[in-house]
Structure 1
Amino acid sequence: MVKWEVVFNKFIEDWKYKYDVKAALVCGSYITGNPSKRSDLDIHIILFDDVDWRERGNKIIDDLLIEYFVKLPKQIRKHFQDDNRNRRIMSIVKFITGKVLFDKSNVIQQLKIEAQEWKNKKYENTIQVFLEIKKYNLGYLG
């Protein structure tokens, strides 16, 4: 077992038996095979739909930084939509390339399918100024 897997197992022990939690996905450079000295371990914990809380945090275990996100599926779907609207694929790619850690309801497989659909979508027509701004990554203030 490689270091990130050992660290993940220590971290997820607090989460996988919680009543509100239905799935977890790990993503990022450790999963895609290109970690650097600065890489962290990104973990998405998916809650059941009737939960009314969420959490985001950082935790260091065995000198490895874990960045974790605890959210409802609808919040992740909103990130996919926002990525597409802003011509980004950050959230989308995390789910496409991520590794399912556990899934009590097949929600991650569904999110992976939806992420791929969003990635394949054509962008809506956008004004030329917006495209020029995006080239220089200055953001859009419109």
Structure 2
Amino acid sequence: VQQVEYILRDTGVPPSRLLLEVTESVVLENRLDSIAKIRQLKALGILISIDDFGTGYSSLAYLRDLPADEVKLDRSFIQTLVHSEQDRAIVKAILDLARVFRFTVTAEGVEDEEQLDVLKQLGCQHYQGFLTSRPLAVKALEVLLGKARSG
């Protein structure tokens, strides 16, 4: 937490522009200490995202105490979403819980339009994955963003 404070001070980056991703398994390793540190980061104004959500052996009860802004649905749910009623049900349940807890949900690993269509039907508004773009070098990203702004 102190290191993040120094970085914010030294760079002048507004805390609300920083989103830190923490994997669910890291939070669960030492739940109480992790939640305390996340709360300290949130007090600085930083946004917190829980990555790989739903893959750990977490109790849903810990959601009450989790001071996060976003959860990222693990790609393992997305890969079989189109053909698996069970995975659609899990994703829907997570989306419903996220609304109650006021989390943003980002689906990871979206690779085709069918997956995106199902996610939209379920109410998921954010996604990332190869459907949009493969990983890019900085220069290629700048070109892509330049086209997005001008197009």
Q: TM-score, normalised by structure 2?
A: 0.26
Give the structure, 1 or 2, with the largest relative contact order (CA under 8 Å, sep 6 or more).
Answer: 1
Structure showing the higher helix proportion among its residues: 2
Q: TM-score, normalised by structure 1?
A: 0.27
